[in-house]
Structures are given as structure tokens and as C-alpha cells.
Amino acid sequence: MNRSKLSSHEFKKGVFTTPFNSIGNIRINKWNYDRMPAYIWLGLVIQKYGHTNGLEKCFKIIKYIVDLKIGITFPTMNSLFALSESNQEIIYKFALNHISSDVLYPLTLIYPYTKKPTFNKYFNVSKKDDDRKEKLVSIIEETYDHQSNISSDIRFIVVWSAVLNEKIKFAQDMLIIEALKNYAYHSHSDEIMRQYRPTIRSTEGVFGGAIENIFSNDFSDYFWKEISEMTDCKLLFFNIADETDNNEIDGFMKYLKSIAVYYEEFLRIFNPISIKAEVILTIFVYSYKRLLELVEHDLFNEISGRTIIRSIIENYIMIKYLVLEEPNHDDIWSDYISYGLGQYKLIMSKYSDNDDSPKGTHIPVDYIEAILESETDQKFLDMDTRYFDKKSIREKAKLVDEKDLFDYYYDYDSQFEHGIWGALRESVSIICDNPAHKYHHSLDVDNLQKHKSVWKDCKHIMQQTIDFLNGIYPLPPKVNKNE
């Protein structure tokens, strides 16, 4: 798979625009929803008789239809069904000179006699072993991808039909001319087909938008509704959870606990009035408690685990930023505390200003009020709704040389924190591995979908935090020893 590179996108007004969208308003052709159902009979013929033989049979039938001059340019099922009964009979009789009736028999499951009596007259063979559903699911699976071999064959027929009807002409030196002459007589394994197939598909893709009026939404909606109701979901869970080493976890957490205990004593006994020490070490212990939650509640492979790693990354970046900016502020440590208390004051103000504020929630209103009263005189406490120090976490990460941590970890985990669709899709939305259901999504209400463990990354970031703190408040060797 060729991954999209940022360097190939145009960045403007906060949006990375793809090269295709930079060109203008380009419509995405809906092959598998609209066009494939209309051409599925061609796929059944090719599936039955093979690439070259199947194409030749399709050529003969389509040329016959064109020679009838009954107004059909592109051989869609809905176009055939729209013909008069007599014209349908003429075409079906001719088709049976080249294909056996059982080839299109699967379609009678979707279009029974009550819906399409003329079609059923010629193709409903009422086989003892009714494998129509399996045949339909099989051809849908093979043609669902617009780049598959059979899909490419069908799209070749569409282009060939347009040329036959003189609806399009090409310059003689174009590759499409060579492809039209030789495509049917080369195996898909031949090297030249690597050039022919994309040429055919791109040419047909243009028709997909230009001749959209020949595809009926009612036709495709009916097709998908019928086939989907005949088959069951095949839910496909991606459990990519990796196992964790309990001995490693236990060892690291004991090591971390010894550091937390040391710093607690260091602050309480030796630096009880140091605001700098209080801020730095409080942030560190908050990260420690987040990691405790991860371990004690076994959240390594859960959505909550991504929230936890995001939190300790932000804490680590904030510690480094505060230390970096200390020389540029009169008292960045007090500013940081005032900023946080101001956020709490804003929350409390919303409660106190509104008599109809919710009661009995998880928010400990009285306790938060007590914190504010004990920490500051609220008459002098501003409420800044911007980022702390007017810089986002991304800007702070760049300033402390941790942009990679933001780009490769924090940005991803933030998707889960904010419920962005990508994270929802990864966590909750399950693929139904049934082509007849258009590979739709179901919901993981049984919590079977599991993520990769965040443990190793959490451990790595916590170790980085410890190493940084050790440079400010050195740890004794016996404590700073992870065995």
C-alpha cells in the first residue's frame, strides 16, 4: 500500500489538501454501489467462461444488441429490463446461442418471475441444487473492487461498447487503441496488462461520471436491498492486542513507586515552600497515578489507555516547557498555578451564576470551592480561556524539542480523547466481511475489538520524565535503579 505523504499535499488555511482536490471539484465514481450492479451479468459470463472466452461471448451479444438499433449504448441490466417484452425476448434468445441459461440463473433470485417474467422465462432453470445466493455473493466479491481482474474486464467491455456505438473516438497513437485491440487476448498475468488495465479503468471512470443518467438509483438500491436481506453478517473483529510482560510491569511500577515516594519526602521535608518543586513534582505524581490506573485496571488495550498516555505525554511536555520558560517569566510557577485555579473558578462561576445548574453530578462543587478559597483570593483571580502561556501543546512540544512525541503519539491519542471519527471507527465500528452487505459496519457492543497495548510507550515516556527530573532534582543511586 502506498501511504499518502504530507509533502504531496497543499497546506492552506489549516487544511492539507490532496493533489486531486487541489485540481478542483472531482467526483468520485461509485463503481461498487451503482455501476457494478448494472453490469453484473457481464461479470457472471466472464466468471463462467474465463477472461478471453468470456469477453468474446460478451462482444457477440453486445454487438447484436447494437445492430438492433434499439437505443442501448451501454449494456446495463436496467437498460435491458426497460426494453419491450418482444425486444427482450429477441436478445435473450440470441444470448442463449452463446451462453448457457444457468450462467444468469443466479440473477433470478433478485429478479424473480413476479418482477421480471421475460427474463425468468429464459434464465430461470430451477436447478435442484439452488446455489444462486452463493454465486451472487461470489461475483459481488470478485467485482466489488473496481481494480480487480473481472472488474477491469467489465470496464473494458463498457469502453468497447462506447467505441462500437461511436460515442467516443481516440487518437490512433493513444495506448487505449492498442488496449482495445489486444486486451482480450492477453492473460492477466502478462506484463503488458499492467499498462492496459489502468488505461481501461481510467477511461471507463470518465464514462462513469459522464453517463451517470443511465444508472438508476432505484435499480441499484433494489439490488443491494435484496441481496443484503438474503445473507447474514460476518462480523470481522480486529483484536490486535499484544500481550504484556507482568514481571516487567511489576518491576517498573515498583521502581516508579520508589521514585514517587522519594520525591514526596523530598518536597515535604526539604522543599515544603518551593513552588517550583511543588509544581514539577505534583505533575510527575499525577502522571504516576495515571499509570497506576492503567496497570491496576488493566487498561493497556482499552480506549482509556490512550487517554492515559496522552495525559502523561502532555505532563512531560509541560514540565519541560515550564523549566525552559522559567528565565523568561517573573514567576512562571505561580502563573501556572493561577491559570489552573482560574479554570476551576470559571467552572464554579457557571454553577454559582445559574440557580438551575445541575445538582448531584460527579463534580464536587463544594470541595472545588474550598480549594479555591484556601489557595487564593478569588477577587484577584483572572480566568484565562486560552492555552496556558498562550501556546498550544503542539507549540510547547516544538519549543522543548519533543515535536516527534506530539506528531507520532499525542496527536493520535487525542483522537480518542475527543471522539474524532477515526478513533471511533477503530474502536467501535466493526467491518462486516460480507460483500453482499457492501462491507458495512456494525457496532462493537460486546467490547470484542481490542487495541494494541500502550504499556511500552507509557513506560518509555515515564522514563523520559524521570530522566528529566533527575537533572533538576537528582535522585540517589539506590532509588534511580530500574532492575
pLDDT of residue 12: 67
Encode pLDDT of 309-357 as tens digits.
Answer: 999 999 999 999 999 999 999 999 999 988 888 888 888 888 777 777 8
Sign of the Cα pseudo-torsion (388, 389, 394, 400, in order): negative
Kindly tell me if the per-residue pLDDT of 265 is higher than 80. yes
Amino acid letter at 458?
Answer: C
pLDDT of residue 218: 85
Residue 196 sits at φ, ψ, to 5 deg, of -65, -45
Q: What is the pLDDT of residue 208?
A: 60
pLDDT band at 67 (very low <50, low <70, confident <90, very high): very high
Q: Which residue has the higher pLDDT, 383 or 248?
A: 248
d(CA 99, CA 120): 15
Residue 178 pLDDT: 93
What does the pLDDT read at residue 27?
A: 47
User: Tens of pLDDT along 367-398?
Assistant: 888 888 777 767 677 777 788 889 999 999 99
* Whole-number Cα distances in Å, 446 to 364, 443, 449: 32, 9, 8
The per-residue pLDDT for range 444-458, each reduced to its tens digit, is: 888 888 889 999 999
Most confident of 10-24, 156-170, 273-287: 273-287
The full DSSP string for 100-153 is -GGGTGGGGGTS-TTT-HHHHHHH----SS--HHHHHHHHHHHHSSTTSHHHHH
pLDDT greater than 70 at residue 94: yes
pLDDT at residue 29 is higher than 70: no
What is the pLDDT, as a whole number, of residue 209?
53
Rounded to the nearest integer, the mean pLDDT of the chain is 88
Q: How confident is the model at residue 159 (pLDDT cuts 50, 70, 90)?
A: very high
Q: Which three cell numbers stand for residue 165?
A: 456505438
Alpha-carbon gap, residue 5 to 92, rounded angstroms: 51
Residue 22: pLDDT above 60? no
Q: Where are the domains of the chain?
A: 31-231, 246-330+388-472
- Mean pLDDT, range 99-121, rounded to an integer: 95
Q: What is the pLDDT of residue 8?
A: 60
pLDDT at residue 166, as a whole number: 84
pLDDT of residue 135: 94
Note the pLDDT of residue 301: 92
Average pLDDT over every residue of 273-299: 96
Report the pLDDT value the prediction gives residue 1, as an integer from 0 to 100: 46
The mean pLDDT of 173-198, rounded to a whole number, is 94
